[in-house]
Amino acid sequence: MFVFIEVDILGSRRQPPSSYIATVVVLAAGQGKRMRSELPKVLHEVCGKPMLLHVLGAADEIAAARMVVVLGHGHAQVEPLLPPECLVALQEQQLGTGHAVLSAAGQILPGPLLVLAGDTPLITGELLRGFVDHHRRSGAVATVLTMDLPDPTGYGRVVRNGSGDLVKIVEHRDTTSAEREISEVNSGMYVLPAPLALDILTEVGSDNDQGEIYLTDVIAGLRRRGERVAACKTEDASLVLGVNSREELALAEETMAKCRRAQEPAGEQTHSGS
């Protein structure tokens, strides 16, 4: 059981966070072998800036009480580039997304916990604000950010009930023929309850075929407890897709550049094309 007692350097109990999201945890520990580079994956640049910093910029618009970045591979290269207000947690072995969040357990405040991926450079503050607002209005204990994909192969399928709440997330390898036809999939981003989510991850452990702990284990654990879990589907799946290869990095660069050009005043667009 995780117990949170925050005490400042003067010895007085810290006041509860004023913002709705108590902690944002950004998962950025992966090596990214498909990038074919010694550079940590999250440091690969999109439009001149490491993709992790794009994610942190969007997350900053949430104004959470605390921001924690989970680092692993190449952390000594990543850490100096982080904004000074970010706390760092180290995941020395990459044993799943749930294990990554557990690595940050000592820095997670009680209250709503927003978990993001550090390799999604197209994520926006507007999308995250909408996601958090959807969670707040739903009254559910947790919310999963989802998306529709024309080809959902390899992604966990989102199964809803008649009320629209999430019943379960089924990994592709475990889907039935009917579930395989579902186009709504898990983005890997969540609003979770702390410390309950950490308690569930601790109970799950890593005694499974993969020897890893995943955040989908939290969703399953909440459902077993009879808790409501909501699903919030983004209209633009490209904003939450992760970058795992050179090809996907080039696509993210092209998409971001096109978006920026579209946002330029008409006069600037004309000038840049002359």
Does residue 93 form part of some domain? Answer: yes
Query: If you average pLDDT over residues 121-136, what whole number do you get?
Result: 97
Instruction: Answer whether residue 2 shows pLDDT above 80.
Output: no
Q: Greater confidence, 205 or 105?
A: 105
Does residue 265 form part of some domain? Answer: no
Amino acid in the structure at residue 165: D
Does residue 14 form part of some domain? Answer: no
pLDDT band, very low/low/confident/very high, at 38 (cuts 50, 70, 90): confident
- Asked about 260 being catalytic, the answer comes back as no
Domain boundaries, position 27: 23-260
- pLDDT at residue 266, as a whole number: 63
**Do residues 113 and 151 touch, judged by C-beta distance below 8 A?**
no
Angle at the Cα of 239 from the Cα atoms of 235 and 242, rounded to 5 degrees: 130
3-class secondary structure per residue, 81-96: HCCCCCEEEECCCCCC
Q: How many domains does the chain have?
A: 1
- pLDDT at residue 209, as a whole number: 63
DSSP code per residue over 192-213: EEETHHHHHHHHH-S-SSS---
Catalytic residue among 34, 225, 246, 260: 34
Does residue 13 form part of some domain? Answer: no
Does residue 6 form part of some domain? Answer: no
- pLDDT at residue 208, as a whole number: 61
Q: What's the CATH number where 206 sits?
A: 3.90.550.10
Query: If you average pLDDT over residues 65-92, what whole number do you get?
Result: 96
List the one residue out of 138, 121, 130 whose CA is nearest residue 252.
121
Does residue 9 form part of some domain? Answer: no
CA dihedral 92, 97, 99, 105 (to 10 degrees): 100
Does residue 91 form part of some domain? Answer: yes
Does residue 10 form part of some domain? Answer: no
Quickly list H helices, the chain.
Answer: 51-60, 75-78, 97-103, 125-138, 196-204, 216-224, 246-263, 266-272
